[in-house]
Structure 1
Amino acid sequence: MKAAVFKAPGAPLAVETVADPQPGPQELLISVGACGVCGTDLHWTENRDTSGGWRELRAGGILGHEFAGEVVEVGRDVKDRFRPGDSVCALPFIGCGRCAACMAGRVYRCAEVDTRASTTLPGAYAEYARVGSAETVRLPAGVDHRTGALVEPLAVGLAAAERARFSSGASVLIMGAGPVGLSVAMWCRFLGARHVVVSDLVPSRAERSADFGATDSIDASREVVAERMQQIAGGPPDVVFECVGVPGTLQLAVEHVANDGCVVVAGLCMGADSFSPAIAVVKAIDLRFTMCYEKRHFEIIVDHLDRGRIDVSQLVTDTVGFGAFPAKFEQLKRAGDDLKVLLNPSLA
């Protein structure tokens, strides 16, 4: 099969022919219909320092964890649950299925978990992907693969919004108008926040947040965030979501949040970062990090999509085939107007 393969930090992905994955007894093989590019992948392919706690990406690895597709082969133990032709999306890891973490739905905490882009579980920047049946969610007829590939980033946003545990009527500030930030904005509005404010250094991205539930936006390249929050909400936000993932943004989030407020870190910063603890102490803020989601988040989102309760059609700004994918991947490492870019393996 064709796949976009990681070669070395800072080097473009290379489209190569690799062996087709083989599903195990409780696994499925899917033909990938669409796979989204995540900011984590962009950071990861540039990361040369593994001391920050994120595992090393080895040459030959295949990234891609936001995907949907069609089942083409079913493992022998799950033929009663799935069949070829089923349209599905799946969590980007496979657990043992037996431990307390797996039974609780927190597969990412399984001691034996296999995650995408590891040496044993290639990602979905490929024509085919192997998935665990227990981690797979069927897509109804009204949810196509393009939309199904958005379930994972939407789950990131939903889990982050839940992590804040804010009250109805709260004011929230979301730093970063990328796909995760926009997903957080959508769910914050859905869950009852009164002021949902998105800030970004790229004005066009900030302005676009209105399409995803934001009540206001801030052009952080020329506006003072604290002053604009005063104008919009009458004071600092109750909750700040850090959805950028670069050094320095955590400090800004701590500075922006209200006294007794909450900062939720959803951006993945792979390098060393620092902030002044004294500010957080004086403000008596809660600092929370969000790592992942559960299968229930996928199921909730698929149900909302099927019922037409959420509209994410404008999140996808480009779809490319393997021919254009390596260059597009590199382009996304630079600030621009794109939101979510999809790889469609069936395109040239």
Structure 2
Amino acid sequence: MKAAYIQNGAVHVGEMPDPTPGKGQALVRTHSCGMCASEAHFLHSGETIIGLSKVHGGPYAGLDYSRPFVPGHEYVGEVVDYGPGSKRTVKAGRKVTSVPIMRQSGAHAIVGFSHDCPGGFGEYMLLDEDMLMEVPGDLDDDLAAMTEPLAVGLEHARRGRPTKDDAALVIGCGAIGLGVIAGLKLMGIAPIIAVDYHEDRRNLGIAMGADIAIDPRQISPYEPIPDLGGRRANLVYECVGLPGLLQQIISGVPFDSRIVMGGYCMEPEQLLVFAAQNKRLNIQFAAGEEPQDMELALRSIADGKIDVRPWLGERIGLGAVGKAMGEMSGPLALVRTVVDPRLL
């Protein structure tokens, strides 16, 4: 099959072996796949990430950086066939997405970060049939591919156990933060405060349901906010992943606040525990989505309750993957570039 793959910190385009499904595995032809910052991290820090997984436990410990792997875990595709002895949960020819996890035929892998389970930057994938979710046939492929990144934000949003008495602050309006805002809005939480340095991202925060958007260079998001009648945020979602930001939040929030860590920081974080204890803070570390989050995300996109069209930027073929991945950071970066591996 044709694929864009990562090997030794570089993106290549070429032929990779067609995957062969085993029992419980579906062979899926990819239609669309979103490009996530986690793939870009592997270009620059792949060996570090793999090393951290080996020492501390994590899903990337099985990767060999010198061997090619096909990334892409935000996908929608068409079921082609199943391995022998499979239950065939979704009929061939139907569109599907899934939590990007493979647990069948003795495997335990993250789709797109595995040598055995190629991701959506290739023409074909292997997906766990127990994880398959059928996608409505009339739903646009690129919108359907946003199910997984939206589901991550929905998971983070519920991890904060928000109530209607909370004032929620979302720091960072990339895909994770935008998904958190959408999730909070869906739960009826208000007010929601979006924080980002960049005006375009703040505008996206408002589009996803935030009540106000703040440039932290102009006003502290932790102080009483005049536009909210002097209320202070007591539920904070960190969706950036920069070292030092968690301590800044601890220092800024009021007593009895809750903090949800959704941003992925690959560097050591230094905390003054006394400050968090003194304020009786609750810090919740959030991770990836679960099936319930995927189901809610797909349903919300399909019925129009959450409009992810503002996330969509350029649609590219395999030949443009390397350039697009190199341009993912910075204020002008698109929320999501979508790859169609059927195009070169």
Give aligned-pair identity as a percent: 27
2:253 to 236, 254, 257: 257
Q: Aligned partners of 1:343, 1:243: CA distance in 2, in Å? A: 24
Q: 2:103 aligns with which of 95, 106, 113?
A: 95
Distance 2:251 2:326 in 1: 33
Distance 1:177-1:120 versus aligned 2 partners, 3 A rule: same
Alignment of 1:175-254 (within 5 A): 175-227=171-223, 229=225, 231-232=227-228, 234-254=230-250
Structure 1 residues 123-138: aligned runs within 5 Å:
123-138=119-134
- Deviation, structure 1 residue 166: 1.4
* 1:4–1:334 CA distance, 2 compared to 1 (3 A): farther
> CA offsets per residue over residues 114-143 of structure 1, 9 Å max, x none?
212123222222111110100110001232
Q: Which of 13, 16, 19 is the equivalent residue of 1:15?
A: 13
Q: Any conservation in 2 of the 1:218–1:228 contact (CA below 8 Å)?
A: no
Counterpart in the other structure of 2:286? 290
Picking from 314, 318, 324, the partner of 1:318 is 314
- Seen in structure 2, the aligned counterparts of structure 1 residues 65 and 235 have a Cα distance that, compared at 3 Å, is same
**Corresponding residue for 2:35?**
37
Change (3 A) 1:91 1:207: same
- Tell me by how many angstroms 1:306 deviates: 2.7
Checking the alignment, whether the CA contact within 8 Å between 1:241 and 1:253 is kept in structure 2 is no
Alpha-carbon spacing, 1:164–1:284, altered in 2? closer, same or farther (3 Å): same
SS state of the match for residue 159, structure 1? Answer: helix
The TM-score, its normalising length taken from structure 2, stands at 0.90
Distance in 1 (CA, whole Å) between partners of 2:254 and 2:76 is 40
Q: Deviations over 1:297-326 (max 9, x none)?
A: 222222223322221111112211112111
Query: CA separation in 2, counterparts of 1:130 and 1:189?
Result: 34
1:342 equivalenced with 2:338 (yes/no): yes
Could you say what secondary structure the match of 2:10 adopts?
Answer: coil
What TM-score comes out, normalization by structure 1 length? 0.89
Q: 1:274 and 1:41, CA in 2 relative to 1: closer, same or farther beyond 3 A?
A: farther
> How far, CA to CA, are the matches of 2:242 and 2:117 in structure 1?
27
Give yes or no for contact 1:257–1:263 (8 Å, CA) kept in 2. Answer: no
Structure 1 segments (4+ residues) deviating >4 Å? none
Q: 1:25 is matched with which residue? A: 23
Correspondence for 1:165 among 161, 166, 178? 161
Equivalent in the alignment of 1:85 = 93
Q: Please tell me whether the aligned partners of residues 224 and 230 of structure 2 are also in contact (alpha carbons under 8 angstroms).
A: no
Task: Kindly indicate whether residue 146 of structure 2 is the aligned counterpart of residue 150 of structure 1.
Answer: yes
- Report the CA distance between 1:221 and its aligned residue: 4.3
C-alpha contact 2:223 2:252 (8 A) present in aligned 1: no
Identify unmatched segments of 5+ residues in structure 2: none
Structure 1 counterpart of 2:34, one-letter code: G
Asked if the contact 1:237/1:256 (under 8 Å) is kept, the reply is no
Report the alpha carbon displacement of residue 231 of structure 1 after superposing the two structures with TM: 4.2
- CA gap of 1:188–1:83, structure 2 versus 1, over 3 A, is same
C-alpha contact 2:327 2:333 (8 A) present in aligned 1: no
Deviation of 1:237 (Å): 1.0
Describe the shift of the 1:123–1:196 C-alpha distance in structure 2 as closer, same or farther (beyond 3 A): same
Cα distance in 1 for partners of 2:270, 2:251 equals 13
CA positional deviation for 1:162: 0.9
